[in-house]
A and B are shown apart, each in its own frame.
Chain A
């Protein structure tokens, strides 16, 4: 049976301190993707534009596929540029993920995400972002400013250095260590067990807890996820579309091969 998945807005997820599980989509721009992930129990989906090659056309379709299943979306924008953030929001992203290095960069991202007076996001009316249903403009601006969370991806030595200031920024809803890039930036690529890496991630977690921000991270397997949850992480991205397919296919094929060895009856 499909698990009984709660439906919660993204902003609530960053406030609840309960476990919220999603995955990342880097490849499968296909109509069923929302329903497939929903029926597997995902509560949100991170759509990656940094590494995937997804354009805004694909993003617009993908966000509809997710909406078809009532799955909230976080969009990893390719850069922190104003236009990248605005365009993702205007086609209907429910949350933004970007990687600031300093508190000032956080302020700039928040500025791009929020309508005046809290920011300088462009105001479009009656398009994808409000589901083509024009509403009183002021009401809409207020609702959007309150509803769209910012996930600060921490993936550089500089960001770790500034983590206290980053965590203190009001518009930052969640701290999200990016292990791969962070280890790389710290000079210990791929070595997540090194003291350097572990210390850096601990610093991020401590800052999140201290400033009452949600903590999020990718978890490649259930055991890692369990540990992360105990440390205080509340938003976990379990693997990603291509890796899940690859792993499940591999497990199945290896299983078949293992059972299909040895002699068998031959046709006469």
Chain B
């Protein structure tokens, strides 16, 4: 399923965050674990465009759709990620104008002003009529607006109303941080802001997406109307599973052993 379709179905779609594992098997590993998409983070991970180019191919081996968290709203960041084959872009606009600028960077004319280069990674090096490619790309590329500041929450309804915005994604960590209560996801201020984002998505018929740190919060989010959930991320899932195993073995191996 394409990301665009995922933002339209209102059925549950599960993926995860990638911040570390730039390794050939990553796409097939995620697929084998049941993931439908991966959000490749360039903001915090240090992934450069060369890593991104490889990772996008690794995800294609398993038909896992890729959302790229571009480091900033800059048009060159957005265009480069798309040109390497990102299907979705996630970044954090604060105003409706920011959203329009992002959509402008994501879409070819007449909807936007994305630079045109064909026969490269984004069209899988194929030949073909340019006009058709432009149309197909404008349909395919999907914009996830990451809402992670009080200013953005203030403007969220207007942002949700913009045609090129396909999904709203509360960034709960940064949101709590920017509201002055870092880490307090259950703080009334945070909950209010978070729920306002979800409500704006529903009101304007947009998908609501979020990272779910564990199963329980994922289920709660689904019940609240979130349909795209990134379950944790590569390093955290790995670390948690390793720790669980190591802790369990240690716990069972405390008794004096036979000599």
Given contacts A68-B60, A131-B62, contact A35 B25 (CB under 8 A): no
The reply on B215 being an interface residue by CB < 8 A is no
The answer to whether A132 and B28 touch across the interface, beta carbons within 8 angstroms, is yes
**Distance in angstroms between the alpha carbons of A128 and B54 in the assembled complex:** 16
Which residues of B are found within 8 Å of A61, using beta-carbon distances?
24, 54
Closest 5 CB pairs of A and B: A133-B32, A68-B60, A67-B61, A35-B124, A131-B28
Docked complex: A42-85 residues within 8 A CB-CB of B:
60-61, 63-65, 67-69
Q: In the docked arrangement, what's the CA distance between A60 and B61, Å?
A: 12
Q: Are B124 and A132 in contact (CB under 8 A)?
A: no
Which of B125-133, B179-187, B224-232, B239-247 makes up part of the contact surface?
Answer: B125-133
Q: How far is the CA of A233 from the CA of B24 in the complex (A)?
A: 34
What residues of A have a CB within 8 angstroms of the CB of B196 in the complex? none
Q: Is A36 an interface residue (CB 8 A)?
A: yes
Taking a contact as CB atoms closer than 8 A, the residue among A2, A31, A64, A67 that contacts B121 in the complex is: A31
Q: Is the CB of A39 within 8 A of B124?
A: yes
By a beta-carbon cutoff of 8 Å, the part of chain A in contact with chain B is: 1-2, 31-32, 34-36, 38-39, 60-61, 63-65, 67-69, 126-128, 131-134
Closest to A91 in B: B24
B57 contact set on A, CB distance < 8 A: 31-32, 34, 64-65, 68
Known contacts A67-B61, A68-B57, A68-B60; A132 and B29 CB within 8 A of each other: yes
B93 CB–A CB distance under 8 Å: no
B124 with A1: CB separation less than 8 A? no
CB contact between A60 and one of B24, B31, B53, B128 (< 8 Å): that residue: B24
Chain B contact residues, CB within 8 Å of chain A: 24-25, 27-29, 31-32, 53-54, 56-58, 60-62, 120-121, 124-128
**Contacts A128-B28, A131-B32, A133-B28: A1 and B58 contacting too (C-beta < 8 A)?**
no
Q: Do B29 and A31 have beta carbons less than 8 Å apart?
A: no
In the complex, A65 Cα to B56 Cα: how many Å? 10
Which residues from chain A contact B127 at a C-beta distance below 8 Å? 1-2, 39
Q: Are A132 and B25 in contact (CB under 8 A)?
A: yes
Please measure, in the bound complex, the distance between the C-alpha atom of A63 and the C-alpha atom of B54, giving whole angstroms: 12
> Complex Cα distance A38/B25, Å?
21
Number of A-B residue pairs, CB cutoff 8 Å, is 66
Q: Are A64 and B125 in contact (CB under 8 A)?
A: no
Q: Which of B24, B53, B124, B126 contacts A63 (CB 8 A)?
A: B24
Chain A nearest CB: distance from B218 CB in Å? 23
B126's contact among A2, A68, A127, A132, by CB below 8 Å, is which?
A: A2
When C-beta atoms are compared, the residue in chain B nearest to A61 turns out to be: B24
16 further interface pairs, Cβ-Cβ under 8 Å (given A39-B125, A69-B124): A1-B128, A2-B126, A2-B127, A31-B57, A32-B121, A35-B121, A35-B126, A60-B25, A68-B61, A127-B25, A128-B28, A131-B32, A132-B28, A132-B29, A133-B31, A134-B32
Can you list 30 contacts pairing A with B, beta carbon distance less than 8 Å? Answer: A1-B127, A2-B126, A2-B128, A31-B54, A31-B56, A32-B121, A32-B125, A35-B125, A35-B126, A38-B124, A38-B125, A39-B124, A39-B126, A39-B127, A61-B54, A64-B24, A64-B27, A64-B58, A64-B61, A68-B58, A68-B60, A69-B60, A131-B25, A131-B31, A131-B32, A131-B62, A132-B28, A132-B31, A133-B28, A133-B32
Interfacial chain B residues near A131, Cβ < 8 Å: 25, 28, 31-32, 61-62
Chain B residue at smallest Cβ distance from A3 = B127
Bound complex: CA of A35 vs CA of B53, how far in Å? 13
Chain A residue numbers with a CB within 8 Å of B60 are: 68-69
> Contact at B31–A128, with CB atoms within 8 Å?
no
Return B251 CB to nearest CB of chain A, in Å.
26
Q: How far is the CA of A5 from the CA of B35 in the complex (A)?
A: 29
The distance from the CB of B76 to the nearest CB of chain A, in whole angstroms, is: 20
B121 with A128: CB separation less than 8 A:
no
Q: How far is the CA of A63 from the CA of B53 in the complex (A)?
A: 15
